[in-house]
Amino acid sequence: MKNLLMLLLMALLVVPIMPAQAQDDDLNALKQEVIQTYADIVYANYADSHALALELQAAIEAFVADPADETLQAAKDAWLVAREPYGQTEAFRFYGGPIDDADGPEGLLNAWPLDEVYIDYVEGMPEAGIINDLATYPEITAELIESLNEQGAEENISVGFHAIEFLLWGQDLSADSAGQRPVSDYTTAPNAERRAQYLTIATDLLVNHLTEMVEAWAPDMEDNYRAEFLALEPDTALAHILTGIGVLSKSELAGERIFTAYDNQDQEDEHSCFSDNTHRDIINNAQGIANVYRGTYTRVDSTVVSGAGLTDLMAAVDPALNETVLAQLDLTLELVNSIHVPFDQAIVLPESRSQIVEVVFGLQDQGDMFVEVAISLGLTIDTALPE
């Protein structure tokens, strides 16, 4: 018996114990994988957005060349399709990356809410807007309409997705349907040719600004933002990643994009008010957050870009918190997918308003969980909107 005990003791002594340095090396390697996956997802997501913006550009060119109900509807459909991947890219913001640094084009791509009267006529004001002001703006150019964006007021949006949306749908004057801009606005109405020119130029600018984002994250370039991002200290890059999804979840989406419209009960405060597509904006924003945390993105052609995600890192660091976050991500997606459509009714109907509050709370809770994730990784993030 004594010999047997000695043998067991010797066996225990030779069991390898991973040194702390080796554990740290493994964790650092996993962090780098997470950062690499993130960069791959960002690039793929912007590439999809750019590709569908090109399809939107072609649809608008076809409409302008032959204005008709069918070509207008095709342009609208192309706009709606282009919004799907772009909505998911919102998870890559809020940390001073190329989309919204000092020179970033975010305000030229997705700024809102838009004051319609700044661009074109509205009900009761037939001569309003840049399009109808030939004296001040005798020629519509890309330089002009880009320079006028947010000039004088934040609502003075002249370019981007929502300027294009307004020029396709027109004002949304009913809670029961989207805007109903007539084809005649591009044929026999006053300044029809200028309106078509404005729409074409605004779409060209959209494509150009999305090209910037694709190039910033392209894997085959040595001196772009992607290269800088991958060269950051891993903890700095992870803090950026968590800041992006934390701010979007708790402040931008829960607050600016949902609660503001809920609180004011005003469709002018909803994201895509002309097309009644706000519910899809919300869903895609939430999906973008889940993509980043899980480390997976399904492209528009159904191929999947995936790798190590924050979930894998947290499974190694704090498995219990990881499971809590994953459950919240599932719940949040369930909540946003259950929002009453259209959103401009959801914010006023009594039976739907309580549902909107539940969505807001769910997104805020999710944002708080990302703060906990950061803390467990020894990081500090701020989920408030940057000033």
- Give me the DSSP letters along 196-231: HHHHHHHHHHHHHHHHHHHHHH-TT-SSSHHHHHHH
Please list the residues that pair with 155 across neighbouring strands. Answer: none
Q: How far apart are CA 128 and CA 191, in angstroms?
A: 11
**Distance of alpha carbon 145 from alpha carbon 152, whole angstroms:** 14
Which pLDDT value is given to residue 18? Answer: 52
Measured distance CA(179)–CA(169) in Å, rounded:
5
User: Per residue in 118-158, pLDDT tens?
Assistant: 999 999 999 999 999 999 999 999 999 999 999 999 999 99
CA 141, 71, 55: angle at the middle one, nearest 5?
A: 65
Using one digit for the tens of pLDDT, what is the confidence trace for 160-212?
A: 999 999 999 999 988 788 999 999 999 999 999 999 999 999 999 999 999 99
Q: Assess whether pLDDT exceeds 80 at residue 387.
A: no
Which amino acid is present at 298? T
Q: Report residue 11's pLDDT band, with 50, 70 and 90 as the boundaries.
A: very low
The H-or-E segment that residue 377 falls in is: none
Task: Supply the pLDDT for residue 267.
Answer: 82
Per-residue pLDDT tens over the stretch 53-70: 999 999 999 999 999 999
Specify the 3-state DSSP secondary structure of 277. coil
Cα–Cα distance measured from residue 114 to residue 166, given in angstroms and rounded to the nearest whole number: 9
Q: Which of 151, 73, 77, 75 lies closest to 119 in space, CA to CA? A: 151
- Block residue for tokens 């018996």: 1
**Average pLDDT value over all residues in the chain:** 94
Superfamily of domain 26-376: M75 peptidase, HXXE motif (1.20.1420.20)
Residue 42's Cβ-side half-sphere holds a number of Cα atoms within 13 Å equal to 29
Residues 339-362: what's their mean pLDDT?
A: 95
